[in-house]
Structure formats: structure tokens, C-alpha cells
Amino acid sequence: MIEAKISSVHLVEVSAVLAPDPSSPGFAPQSRPVSVYDQFHPAGGWPAPTDPRRKTSLYLEIGTTSGVTGRYGPIDQEAVAPLAEGMAASLLGQDALGGTFIWDLLQRGNRHSRHGNRKIAISAVDNALWDLRGRVLGLPVWRLLGGGGRPNIPAYASTLGTFHGEGQVEETAARLLDEGYTAQKWFFGDGPGQGAEGMDRNVALVERTRGTVGNSSALMFDAFMSWDLTYARRWSSRVEGLGPDWLEEPFPAGAVESFAQLRATTSIPLAAGEHLYDRYDILPFLQRGLLSVLQMDPEWCGGVTDLVRMCALAEPYGVPVIPHGHNIHAALHVVASQSPELCPRVEYLFLHEPERHHFELDPPAPKGGIIALPTRPGFGIELDEGRIKESLDVIAVS
């Protein structure tokens, strides 16, 4: 029997100074919950850095008595405090192969574990332990989860940060289509706080993208919890004939009744889930038939362990799961382990993923709109020492 007790937990920060990119236009304005306040909604977006900047990433590393170490990252800064305040130390001596047991201990260990920063920290631990088990057994995580029938996974292009100026939408939409993406998601620049002109721009975004790609690509649109019911109904009535493939998060995640009322008045499919953090959160949406797509994030919802459970919960309701993709690793492996009917594709933020994984060797990336499955053990996350100029332990327990 393999014995691998957890002997150390390190949260490692790697960093380097990056030169400014003279070709970067910056970050486009996006409708956000705070956009109801004009002073928090810069019409011109956020400019690109003009001076060198320090790039940092956090990786959780869990060592064992067997000599094998599991790694996951980059993880969010929100995970640091719960790990430092006792979660990391509580892992010492546990059986690293007993991931479900450890998940349950961490979930039960604090009354606030269901949501928020503690759930983000639990997700990091869970994902690092899946990587560790893969390294112990010499198998990628998608194999550990039972996958084997899908050698590659379609990705949809997520355009977060893309500017909507004259010709920019059309150029980007056409380029993504030429690159082989069969689906692309666009982010609204305006919400109710920007009035009638903002509504016109949000309608025009659908017209411009559909006019560019025709019926050759699915088109999805993300409001990032920044709309109200009246606004969403008005937008939907104006664009319904253009066939948006989904409207994502028009309301805050807990606004179940708003989702229900919008669902009753539009044929546009609704999507949500990245801000739903456990099975109890998604159940009312499933039971009432409110969503056409679920989008839980394995960095936030409890890691691979609970995302797989959520997939099983969604399947009887006929609702596909396309995980939120701000980190490609865990989402890709879970999707690869499920049927194409249940998990048809992954999200790829093409402007952000390359920098997010700046310190890694050969992170997964689409070619022709398709991501080939990793074959290295675990998640296959290996750091490129040539890119790391400084490394320090933010947390170290043993």
C-alpha cells in the first residue's frame, strides 16, 4: 500500500519584473456591480502600464513522506489568510491520498467554510492534493477522474478586456473565428448607470458580433452581475431576434427571483455559476429550471472534488456545466473527465491566460480552438526557473 502522509505545506510566491508591452491597449471598460457609481466606471477603461511592473504568482505545494509533492496555482490572494491562520498546519500528518476525507474535514472545520476566502483556500488544497495523487500514480488528473474518451477539448474564446471601439469588435470577432473558435463570449461595457446611450452600445455589441460571424459561431454575453431586471428585460427584447447563445450573470448570484422572472419573459438562455460556491447554491436554479448553463469555478467552489459532484447534480436536470476559466488547469481536467453532453467545452480568456501562467512551462492553450489534453502526471504544472527572478515562502509549515 502506498503511504504518503502530508509532511509540509508551502505557499510559494514567485516573481519577476516585466517590461511594459507597448502594443497593449490596456483594459477595456466593463460593466461591474459598482458601475452604478460613475466615479467607479471609467469610460476609457484602464490604461496599460507604461513602467516596468512586478509580476507575482502564488503556488501551493504540499509535500509528503513519500517524497512526492503536489502543486497547484496560480491561486488567488484570498486563500492566503485562511491557510496562514491554521488550515495549512491542520493538514500535517493527514493521508495525502485521502482527499475526500480532507475536503470534508476542512469544510466542517469552520462555520464560514461554505463561501468566501475559506472556500477559496479549500479549493487550493483540494486541487493541490489531486495533483499530488496524479504524481504518486504517474497519471494526469483527467485519468484519475475516469476520463479517456476525449483526446482534446473545445475552448470558447472569452474576450474580457477587449475594447469595443470602431472596427475593434469586428476585427477581434473575425480573427477568433479564423483561429478556429466556434464560440466566443463578449463583456458588456455598460449597465443601468450609463443610461440610454449605454443600452444602445450593449445592443450594438450583439449586432456587431453577429453581423461579423453570422451563424458560424456561438455568441455569449456577460453582464457580470451589474444589471437589474428592468434593464435585462429591455436589452433582451431588443436583441432576442439575433439569437444570443446565453446571457451570463445579469444579476447578483443570489437574485434567484430576478433570474426566474427574466427566464419567464425571454427565450435567451441564461447562464451563471462562477459566484455559486456549493451544491446548495446551485440546487434552486436547477430545481426551478432557471439556467441553461452552469459555470462553477473549481478555484472557488471547493476544487475538483466538489465540481465533479456538482456535475453529477446538474446531469439529471439536463443542464451542461462549462466551468468558469480564470485558471485553465482544474477546469480542463474536470471537463475532460465528463461526457461532451454534460461538459461540452472550456472557457479560455485569451488576453489573460498567457500572462496568468507566465511562470509555467507549456501551460495548456488552444490551437485551432482546441486544447490537447495534458499528459504529464497530476495537472502537469511545472515552473520555468528561467522566468523566476525571486521566490519566497509566504507560508511554510512542516
Position 125, amino acid = V
Question: Is 324 among the residues known to form the active site?
Answer: yes
Q: How many CB atoms lie within 10 A of CB 329?
A: 27
What one-character DSSP code corresponds to residue 129?
Answer: H
Q: What is the rounded distance in angstroms from the CA atom of residue 351 to the CA atom of residue 157?
A: 9
Is it true that the peptide bond before 140 is cis, omega within 30 degrees of 0?
A: no
Nearest-5° angle of CA 222, CA 322, CA 357?
85
Cell of 308: 465533479
Quick check: 234 and 199 in contact, CB under 8 A? yes
Provide the b/e sequence for 368-394 (b: ≥16 CB within 10 Å). ebebebbeebbbbbebeeeeeeeeeeb
Strand partners, 219: 184
Q: What is the rounded distance in angstroms from the CA atom of residue 274 to the CA atom of residue 222?
A: 12
What one-character DSSP code corresponds to residue 368?
Answer: T
| DSSP H helices in the chain | 80-82, 88-90, 99-108, 116-137, 141-144, 168-178, 195-213, 229-239, 256-263, 279-287, 303-314, 328-337, 353-356
Which of the residues 41, 164, 324, 329 is marked catalytic? 324
Active site residues: 324
